[in-house]
Amino acid sequence: MDSSLSSLLEKAVRNGQLLSSSLENIRLLLAGAQGDTAPRAVDELARQGAWQELNDRFYKTLSFGTGGLRGRTIGSIVTSAEQGAGGPNGRPEHPAVGTACMNHFNVGRAMRGLIIYMRRFLTEAGIGRRPLIAIGHDTRHFSRDFAEFCARIATDLGCDTALFDGPCSTPEVSFAIRELNADAGVVITASHNPAHDNGFKAYFADGAQLIAPHDKGVIAEVNRLTSDAYEPLPETERGALRILGPEFDRIFMDRLKTIILRPAEFERGGSSVVYTRLHGTGGRCIIPLLRELGCKVSTVAAQDELDGRFPTVASPNPENAPALAMAIEQANATRADIVIATDPDSDRMGIAARNASGEMELLTGNQIGSLLLWYRCMTMLETGMITPQNLSHTTVIKTFVTTPLQDAIAHSFGIPVVNVLTGFKYIAAKLGKYEEAIPAELRRGYRGMSERQTRALRLEHSRFFVFGGEESYGYLAQDFVRDKDANAAALLIAELAAWAANRGTSLLQILEKIFTQFGVYLEAGKSLVMEGADGAAKIAALAQSYSDAPPTVMDGARVAAVRDYSKGDLTDAEGDPIPAEKMLFVDLEDGRSFAVRPSGTEPKIKYYLFAHGAPGSDVAASRTRVSAVLGSLWAALEADARHRMA
């Protein structure tokens, strides 16, 4: 850093314009940065007096959250140094400069930190072979660049690498890790975030995202790296690169077909589907699979294009109604029964279904998960896949903030439920536990076994995973993928819709019957968004305030119970310790409840509100009452949050 820039930055710190942590991180990045893009970009922003932008880019170094590494890859202000000659789909030539941004500096450090930790882990385990890493990416800006960059680092540092030939879904990478017996995996994606974001998701040898102690171990290695420069091994010691293409997709798709419980439903006619990939990766496997199964499916042509700008939607998030607008319009024009939408990396799925008035109605993630859970429990028992005699060896796994309706449904079939923290890595950890519980001599070759074989082993020696999910539109019904999977979810909802149509009913009519049996369960997901360096501090302070001073009354109802997960002293239904997480769960005496937690991947603090009515009551009237008490609870929580931040 030249002296004039250094003086300008130091003066900004003294004037309170630039955070001292930002200056420290600017120096860290510039000391190790390759090329002139980074120093030019910092100099340009400083000369403009863009202190907020510099703070947002440098107030921290990206760290792993529930979804890995995630941040802006295109700044709010794009400098001329970053814009350069420009890139595909209207993006800048270079990603945003900053320690809090997704760029080659952070991606490189993350990849090298993962490799260092993985190699040490293998060495300590007495495994002397060359490591293998699987790498995939979505359709976002710089995703292919970052994936190829990671592959180059891996091979340069002596790791064999399996790189997908183009955009692929996150769950397919999880599958690839297990199928190829890889030691780790990486997906370049920011899931359903805005177009300016990207991310780095790290997986371990089990095909699941990193959990303790691996997550902390990798981050410790990443934090020791202060430069994006590294020394490649001699050519004879470098790893080999393998490209995964259509032949690997075929292996994945054939395994996915095995989770269908009643394939004949598609052959009997079933329902018609409009599917949109929202410019993402879902079409790679979902479209051919649905057509092979005999599903009547059409796609939204304008959204088939792989484009990181996501030009036809304000947000590529399938839980938002506007994202499904084009698909719903097409469904209305063709009289299709349901709409299926998946996010850019195809791990989340949203749907719309036709109601009694003939209009397309969006379902929440909680409702979709409840329908799929009900159908799988009912069908597995009807077909003898599971029996009353082995129900104690089955399980449903969901997150604490997913609707308790799913607990009620599973328990009505006699199936145990385990609630875990937010993040599919915790569901995956349970699946790993159940696999390990099978005697070693019997589980040899487990990953190559069929679903029928592994189900038999788990039902006899461990626990068979019936279904799992989270309220944020993530679902899983199989053991051979260890992350949420919209490819599988699309098949499952299409199967359920076909089953319903063949019996003269519909998804929404089934949901109505479930509400009649168990009572109307409604949930509300709310959040307070606070971006940038200032926002991060406010989120942290607000989250801490709930732990320091939990509420005793909310919206006129006394608090019946408080569960503070930040203490790290709670256990789950199986007696396993629950890792410490900043989340407070509050039960009110009137039956309502709510949870509050800071997001691990987005600049927001999240609120989860729950309420339900009595079974057997008038569903429409009960829905109105429950919705009203949820609205009242949110108004009280908002007012309480403002008071806490005052």
Task: Tell which residue, 58, 149, 71, has the closest CA to residue 109.
Answer: 149
Query: The tokens 């079939």 sit on which residue?
Result: 413
Q: Which two tokens stand for residue 197?
A: 């974001």
CA 614, chain centre distance (Å): 33
| Contact (CB, 8 A) for 308 and 334 | no
* Strands of 102-245, DSSP E: 132-137, 160-164, 184-188, 197-204, 241-244
Query: DSSP secondary-structure letter at 497?
Result: H
SS3 state at 115: helix
Catalytic annotation, residues: 191
CA gap 513, 154 in Å, rounded = 53
Task: Tell which residue, 333, 363, 356, has the closest CA to residue 272.
Answer: 333
SS3 state at 161: strand
Cis peptide before 213 (omega within 30 of 0): yes
CA gap 574, 400 in Å, rounded = 14
Q: Which two tokens stand for residue 73?
A: 């890859």
- Host H or E run for residue 633: helix 619-645
Q: What are phi and psi of 159, to 5 degrees?
A: -110, 135
Query: DSSP secondary-structure letter at 74?
Result: S
* DSSP letters spanning 290-311: HHHHT-EEEE-GGGTS--TT-T
User: Which own/partner pairs from 11-17 qualify as long-range (CB within 8 Å, at least 24 positions apart)?
Assistant: 12/46, 12/51, 17/49, 17/51
